[in-house]
Structure 1
Amino acid sequence: MNKTDNQHSTMTCIVCPMGCHLDIEHTTKEGNYQVTGNQCPRGEQYAIEEITHPTRMLTTTVKLNHGNVTRLPVKTAQPVPKALLYQCMQQLNQLEVEAPVKQGQVLIKNLLNTGVDVIATRSA
């Protein structure tokens, strides 16, 4: 997000390669938003979600014991709330996984009560 005041925000859409410059106007007290500058409907949805409930996919590595490598790449199965990224990383930094592991295997179910699982992104 580039600019924010009480009623107006601007950002660049990252949903597709177009990179539309979005203007988001908070139009009413009920929480309605008017988005302009988007070339497709996905841009409007992205802007509203980014203003009201920003989320991010989390990718990292965790310690792997008894494997042919020492670190295992992992990711969240769905995006997690942006506000919880630091706490998610703290929990993942504590995780040690025993080999063998299969790609797609759930390593943590319901990370920080978000309803999102952490999965292995390769076999090891």
Structure 2
Amino acid sequence: MQKNKVTCILCPRGCIIEKKEQGGTFEFVGFGCTRGMKWAKEEFTNPKRILTTTVHVKSGEIEFVPVRTTKPIPKEKIFEAISILKGIEVLAPVEIGSVIVKNILDTGADVVTTRRVGQKESLDN
């Protein structure tokens, strides 16, 4: 099913932008600014999202570290990227901004950590 309306997320106004097709050409109506029109065109033709998830940490003070892509990736690649990250384990300590996967799925986006995770203290004192 093809959607014909989206709510712009660029500012608090939340304009309802509609895509109208006539004779093979598209027109966008309802946007309050040119940024909204540009965003709506991309949302209809090539939607992208920032991926946020977690990666397992071995010997860390916590079991998982939050990660995100450095830029939006195509929406249709999100689940494939999650599958790749599900199989990755990093060794503590982990610093903020550590690159976990470079250029995931050839999207030009790296997957980086968003939190520091220290090494688990040994119980053998």
Asked if Structure 1 and Structure 2 have the same fold, meaning a TM-score greater than 0.5 normalized by the shorter chain, the answer is yes
- 1:20 corresponds to: 15
Larger RCO (CA under 8 A, 6+ residues apart): 2
State which of 64, 72, 76 in structure 1 corresponds to 2:69.
76
CA contact (8 A) 1:33 1:48 kept: no
Which blocks of at least 5 consecutive residues in structure 1 are unaligned? none
From the CA coordinates, give the structure whose radius of gyration is larger: 2
Note if 1:56 corresponds to 2:49.
Answer: yes
1:25 maps to amino acid: K
| C-alpha deviation, 1:91, in angstroms | 0.4
Deviates more, 1:45-54 or 1:18-27: 18-27
Instruction: Give the secondary-structure state (helix, strand or coil) at the position aligned to 1:62.
Output: strand
Aligned length: 117
Moved over 3 A (4+): 26-29
- 2:121 corresponds to: none
The share of aligned pairs that are identical, in percent, is 39
Q: How does 1:7-46 map to 2 (within 5 A)?
A: 9-26=4-21, 29=24, 33-46=26-39
Cα deviations by residue, 1:40-97 (Å, 9 ceiling, x for unpaired): 1111011100111110111011100111100000000001100111101100111101
Which blocks of at least 5 consecutive residues in structure 2 are unaligned? 118-125
